[in-house]
Structures are given as C-alpha cells and as structure tokens.
Structure 1
Amino acid sequence: MTTEPTAPSLPREPLGNPHLRRLVVGQGLAAVVDALFLIWLTLFVLELSEPGMATGFVLVAVALPRAALLLPAGVLVDRLGAARVVAGAAWVRVAVLLALCAVVTITSPSVTAVALLAGLLGAADAAYFPAALALLPAVVPTEKLPRVNALVQGVESGGDLVGPAVAAAVIAAVGFDATLGGITAVAALAALALSTLIRVVRRGECARDDAGSDAIDDEQSSSVRALGAGLRYAWHQPLVRGMLAAIGVINIAVVGPVLVGGAVLADQRLGGAGSLGVMLSGFGAGSLAGSLMAGWRPPARRGWTVVGGVAAIGSGMAGLAAVTHVVAATAVVSLIGLGSGFLGVVVVATLQELVPEHLLGRVLSLVVLATVAFDPFSYVVAGVLLPYGTTTVFLVCGSAVLACAGLVAASPAIRSLR
C-alpha cells in the first residue's frame, strides 16, 4: 500500500516527525472527547428525566446511525480519502457539540432534542472511526504502525479508565454547561490537528499506482458495487475473514456478559455494586497495558499472538465463573482487558499493512462494525443465560471464545502470519 513519500527519511523515534505528532494528538484528543461526552450525555439525560427509558433512548439514538452508516462510510473513505473524511467528520462533531451547547445553555432542552443532536454525533462517528484507522498507514511508515496504533488505542483505553471519574468531577465542580463547553473546545483542537494532515496525505495520494487508481475508477459508478467489492474482498480473504469473525465472537461473548453478568456477580459474590466499578477499572487498566505492550514490543509471530490473545480472553471469561473475591475478579478482568488491548493493536496494524489501499476504508469499517454493532446481541446473550446463574454465563461465553481461538489456530492464513 502507498505511504507518504518521505517516510524512509523519518527519524527513528516514533513521534520524531511532526505529522505523526499531529496525528496522535488529534486522534488522542478525539478519543478523550468520546470518553468524556458519553459520561456527560448519560448524566445530563438523567438530570432531565427519571432513570429508565429516556437514558436508553438517547444512547440508542447515538448507536443506531453509527452502526447503520458504518459500511457506506467505508466507501466514502475509499473514494474521498481518509484525511478528508477524518477532518470533515471531526468538524461536524464540533458543529453538533456547539449546537448542543446552545440548546443546553439558552433553552430548556427536551430529551428528544438532545437525542436528535446525539444522533447526528453518531452519524459523524460512523464516518470518523473507519477513516481514523485508515489514515494511519497514509501518514505512518509501515514499521511504525504497531507503535502508533498502540499510542492511539492506549489513549482510548486511558480515557475509558479515567474518563468517568474526570467527567463526573468536572460536572460537579462547574456544571453541565461549562463541562460541555470544555468538551467542545477539546473537539475543536482535535479537528484542527487532524485538518493539517490533508495536505500531507494528498502528496501520498499523488503517488498512488495506476492499478489502484483503476480499481477505484471502476467502482465510481455505483456505491452499491463499491460496497459489494469490499464485502467480497473481506469474505474471500481468509486472513481478513478470520480476524473479523474473531472480533465479532469476542464482542458478543464479552461485552454483555462482563457488564450485565459482572453486575450480578458483584452483587451476589463480591460485596455489592461498588465492586463492579473496581472490576471495570481493572479492565481499563489491562486494556491500556495490552495496547502499550503490543506497540512497544511487536510480536515476532503475529499469527500465534492473535491466537494467544483470543485464548487469553476466553480463559479470563471462563475464570470469572470461579471467582469469589473482588481482588481475584479484578485480576481476571484485567487479563481479559490485556488480551483485548493487545489483540486490538495487532489486528488493526496487520490489516492496515496488508489490505490494499483502495479497499482499506471498507475493510476497516467492517472492523468497527464488528466491534460496535454486536453489542445488542451480546446483551441478549447475557440476558438469556443469566437465569441459569453467573457460573453458566461465564463458562458458556468463555468456552465460545476458546473455541474461536481453536478455529483461529486452525487457519493457515492466520497461523502463518509473521
């Protein structure tokens, strides 16, 4: 795939080039905005109405357009270029946040008004997420992809770890209006940093080989054909298909059971609801550590690392069936987070390196879709299994992930990946 022409002369340090610094700063600030805004939105809706359906309604309003528009957004990324889409989506986020600031400050907003604006943010997210992943290989030399991915995903994990506490503390200190204004200012800084990369990536696009350009030209006549081409590529490539399947299985078997089953586990065995917060903090810490480890010590045998990461997550899920103390539960959940963070960096960096540039946006939109779209199914799985007890929930889900690890190990395309 094509990288920026000056990449071979970049300094050895991972952030020695100003383009890389702006990339990491821009995407890092955007991740912080995501973490803070989710907590702000949840608490603000609770302030507007009684706990219950209203909060779920607003969160669904964010999630639905994001999931529905991810695949079309992947086509947009491949046609317009990742840098343009990232910058455009980042500025749309700023515009929507400014509108929300005005609504919150000047009027007495309804839940419906907040949900509509939150839905626009979800639509912007659908374009931003795959474009942000596709932007990295256009700016970052191939050998530095794991390290820069680790930095960006490490910031995301750090935001998930400290974001709830920071957002709640700031809201308590200065109120909802000022907190949202601060979040909007951070989003504007992120958009400014990311916008500076458009000209850098445009130089790389000028060097694109004729074969890649012809492939794009053939698809311009129909967005449906372009989307179909991306789906066919992902299905016919055993490496891509296997990694997407692993991501989907992990998200179905982990997200809902850890949140829903973990809450029940904390109440029944670990001393109360406060234990759930400790467990989830352990997950965030493990995810942060896993991301940084994958970047600073890239594995020599990536295929077996993928297998090991999936197996670690499955072992952790099964291990939750036996825990009876919050310390043990936190340690096990930290293992799950460690495997998830490590696996995320390795999988994304591998796809960024190996997928043809003219298909990268569509393939990475599938990765994001597999990450976020299966959450409702995961909650359903947890709900169906919970009547049989938390031991059953974690054993079944852990076994499913371990079985997935076995299937991944059986794939020659993944097993032989270096």
Structure 2
Amino acid sequence: MPSNDMPLSAPPRPAHRDGNVLRWLTAYTLSLVGDAIWMVALGFAAQEVAGPAQVGMVIAAGAVPRALLMLGGGVVADRFGPGKVVIGSDAARCVIVLGIAAALWLTTPALWLLVAGAVLFGIVDALFMPAVGALPPRLTELDQIGRIQGLRMLVIRISWIAGPPLGGLAMAYGGAAAALGAAGLLFALSVPLLMALRLRSVPNDEQPTDTAPQSAWGELVDGLRYIRRHRVIGPLMISGAMSELGTNGLLTVGLILLCGDQGWGPSGFGWIVGAFGAGQAVCAALLAVKGRVPRAGLVQNVMLVVGSASVGAVAFMPTLSAAVGMSLLSGLLCGMCGGLAIALIQTSAEPGYLGRVTSAMSLTGVGLTPLSFPLFGAAISAWGVRPVFVVGAVFSALGAVAGLSSAAVRRAELPHLPGRKNVGRPAAAPAESRI
C-alpha cells in the first residue's frame, strides 16, 4: 500500500543517511559475507571427499548455471519486480545452504550432494544478482545513485575481506557444516531487512492492460535490443566488458605468475591484491561521500584509459613495494571508473529494463571473465608475463574507444539535485510501497 511518509517538499536525504538505503546495504553486506563463507565451506568440503580436480568441478557446478541463466534472471526481475524476486531468491539460498549444512552434520559428506547444492545455489544466484542490483533506483532519488554505488563498492571490498576469514574460523571450530550454517544464518538475517524496504514506484510499474504480454524469450530479446540501441548504455556496456576481459585475468592468473617469476611469492601476491582492493575501497568511500562527479561520462573514459595503463605497468615494477604502490593507484582509478559506469547505466536505463540491464552487466564478470583465465595462463606460458600484461591493458583501454565514440556518453552526467536539470530518465515518482 502506498505510503505518504515522505512528502514532496521534504528535502532528499543523502544515501549514507537514508534508513531505507542502509537497510538494503546491510542486507546486501550480509548476503555478500554469506557468499564468501559459502565458497570457502564448499571448497573445503569438496576437498575432504575428493581430489583437486573434483574441487574445481564442484565450484564450477555453481558458476555454469549462474552464467547461463543470468540474462533470464534479469527478465524475471523485470517481469515480477526486483523486490519480490530478491526476497524469494535470498530465502531460497538460505534454505539450500542450511539444508546442505544439516546433511553434512548428520551424514558423511558426499560429492553428489555438494555438486547438487552448488548447481541449485547457482540457479538461484542467477535470480538474486540481477534483482538486488536493480533495486537502488527504487530506493531513493536518482541523484543519490552515485553515492549508492560508492557504498556498494565499499561493502563488496569489506565483505570479501571479512568473509573468507570468518568462513575459515567457522571451519576450524565446527567443520564445513558449521561454516555453511553460518552462511545460511547470514542469508536468513538479510531477508527481513529486504522485506522492510520501501520501494518507490516507477513509471514502468504501470503496464498498459490492452497490450499482449511478451514471452520470456521475447522480453530477453527486447532487453538486449534496448541495450544495443541505447546511446549511453550500449557503449558503456561494451566498454565495461572489454575492461573486465582485459584486466581481470591479469589481476588473478597474471599476478600469480608474475609473483612467481619475480620471487615475491604468495605474500607478494597478497600485498599487491590487497593494495588494489584498498584503492577500490578508498575510491568507493570518496564516491559515496561526494555522490556526483561533473562530466561523469568523459571522466569515466579517461579513468578507464589511465587505470588500464596502470594495471599493465604493475608487471614492469622493479620491486615489490613499487608494484604494491602501482596496484594501489590502479585500484583507485579502476574503482572510480567502474562506479561511475554503473551509476551512469542505472540512471540512464528505463525502470522496466533495469533487471535485464543489470543482468547483462553482471554476465561479463561472473560468466565470460572466468572463461578467459585459461587463455591468460596459456598466453603467459607462450609469450611471458610482461607482453600479456601489455596486451591485456591495451585491450582494456580500447574499451574507452567504444565509450568516447558516443557523443551521448561524452556528454553524460549523473542526475543533479532535485530542481535542477537532469540528464537521463525522469526521477522516480515519490510514492512508496512495501515489498
């Protein structure tokens, strides 16, 4: 039922002071930490009953359906509303994880059980990720999306720093069953917070009653066509995909092999990756406080070029300390670039397409990028670390060409404060409703 708690004349609250946004952020954090613990527990549980190849198989069993069904999850979020989908999918993840925890507690771990659980979790995750990503424009005014994306990036970094140690601690005291139980508890705690959200109505929530509904496939094709034709979203989506494909392999496989060649070892790898994450966290905090960057489209593309170059430069640093410093700079630049890109896409998208747009953004990171890791390893084996770092950085930087080729992207701005001229879609209506 619509609520009149927020009158039209009330000044908008900054995202970091908005209770509605903070509830979503807390629920999202709990889910992210639960995700991290789930991955730790699943991997170690598989190790107890199988060899290294089977551990990889169990983890891939969840990644494959998630990647294959991600775009379909966006269709579901747009058709039924992201609020309902995110609650249902998070509750389902809780049930799946607690069910596996109970099974491991009562019986000897079996490989088939872990594979089945990973597949189910991956299927549900394909629904959860587009839905939770499509919520921010429904939580507050559009001029706060930049702040929300900064906060989102910050909690992602914090969650993936805190989650694995918490999972390891639970494993040490109670084994995989205890760790999975902890993950399930975190999912359970996030559900009531999601249910308490007040979502703003948006224009596309009211669909014409005289038009025939599209099939799910038709909605998927329509969403992809919308992305391709949009003057801002299409180029930014291509740019982001090129950036992720060019740099993510360098920051994982590439860094592992670089540290081995340079004699820096696992500890050096940890320092470099930690510095990159710290840079992203600092940048996320800055974006969360500032909220809006002038000429965001142009700044995003400049950051993409410089950030890509800094990632490539890590391989040419003569000492570990220099590599750590360059990685910190890379995290700052890439974090700002990524946050601005997501904010621009979400504030430019029509509300009825947000789920499909979010699912397309997520697909590259969770589906396509991991598939490129073996290619990076093979390329480094054939040509060496530094040439591959150069090629990956150049490929990532070329993503800026896709962005700068669009005049709409070059001129794109994040929405101004209410009362000023907005660039992009109109602000959401002030009416609110419980999920």
TM-score normalised per structure 1: 0.91
CA distance in 2, matches of 1:163, 1:146: 25
Q: Residue in 2 aligned with 1:193?
A: 193
Alignment of 1:224-239 (within 5 A): 224-239=217-232
Q: In the alignment, is residue 119 of structure 1 matched against residue 108 of structure 2?
A: no
CA distance in 2, matches of 1:209, 1:238: 20
Q: Residue in 2 aligned with 1:261?
A: 254
**Distance change (3 Å), C-alpha of 1:153 and 1:230:** same
Alignment of 1:248-287 (within 5 A): 248-287=241-280
Q: Residue in 2 aligned with 1:154?
A: 154
**Distance change (3 Å), C-alpha of 1:136 and 1:10:** farther
CA distance in 2, matches of 1:109, 1:83: 35
Q: In the alignment, is residue 47 of structure 1 matched against residue 48 of structure 2?
A: yes
Partners of 2:67 and 2:366 within 8 A in 1:
yes
Q: In the alignment, is residue 391 of structure 1 matched against residue 379 of structure 2?
A: no
Q: CA deviation at 1:15?
A: 4.2
**Distance change (3 Å), C-alpha of 1:128 and 1:5:** farther
CA distance in 1, matches of 2:37, 2:324: 23
CA distance in 1, matches of 2:294, 2:368: 31
Alignment of 1:72-221 (within 5 A): 72-197=72-197, 200-201=198-199, 204-205=200-201, 208=203, 213-214=207-208, 218=211, 220-221=213-214
Q: Deviations over 1:343-380 (max 9, x none)?
A: 33222222221211111111111111122211234213
CA distance in 1, matches of 2:7, 2:410: 30
**Structure 2: runs of 5 or more not aligned:** 414-435
Q: CA deviation at 1:251?
A: 1.6
**Distance change (3 Å), C-alpha of 1:14 and 1:43:** same
Q: CA deviation at 1:82?
A: 0.8
Q: Deviations over 1:45-92 (max 9, x none)?
A: 223323x21111011111111111111111111111010001011101
CA distance in 1, matches of 2:282, 2:17: 23
**Distance change (3 Å), C-alpha of 1:276 and 1:377:** same
Q: CA deviation at 1:40?
A: 2.2
**Distance change (3 Å), C-alpha of 1:116 and 1:217:** farther
Q: Residue in 2 aligned with 1:408?
A: 403
Q: Residue in 1 aligned with 2:13?
A: 12
Q: In the alignment, is residue 33 of structure 1 matched against residue 26 of structure 2?
A: no
CA distance in 2, matches of 1:5, 1:74: 30
Which consecutive aligned stretches of 4+ in structure 1 deviate over 6 angstroms post-superposition? none
Q: Which moved more, 1:263-272 or 1:80-89?
A: 263-272
Partners of 2:86 and 2:131 within 8 A in 1:
yes
Give the counterpart letter for 2:34 in structure 1: V
TM-score normalised per structure 2: 0.88
Question: Structure 1 vs Structure 2: percent identity of aligned residues?
Answer: 25
Q: Which moved more, 1:332-341 or 1:318-327?
A: 332-341
Equivalent of residue 288 in structure 2, options 295, 307, 317? 295
Q: CA deviation at 1:247?
A: 1.6
Partners of 1:149 and 1:349 within 8 A in 2:
yes
Partners of 2:308 and 2:334 within 8 A in 1:
no
CA distance in 1, matches of 2:359, 2:136: 14
SS of residue matched to 2:398: helix
Q: In the alignment, is residue 380 of structure 1 matched against residue 380 of structure 2?
A: no
Q: Residue in 1 aligned with 2:298?
A: 304
Partners of 2:236 and 2:345 within 8 A in 1:
no
**Distance change (3 Å), C-alpha of 1:78 and 1:218:** farther
Give the counterpart letter for 2:309 in structure 1: S
Give the counterpart letter for 1:409 in structure 2: L
**Distance change (3 Å), C-alpha of 1:116 and 1:309:** farther
Q: How many residues align?
A: 408
Cα RMSD after superposing both structures:
2.3
Q: Residue in 1 aligned with 2:429?
A: none
Q: CA deviation at 1:259?
A: 1.2
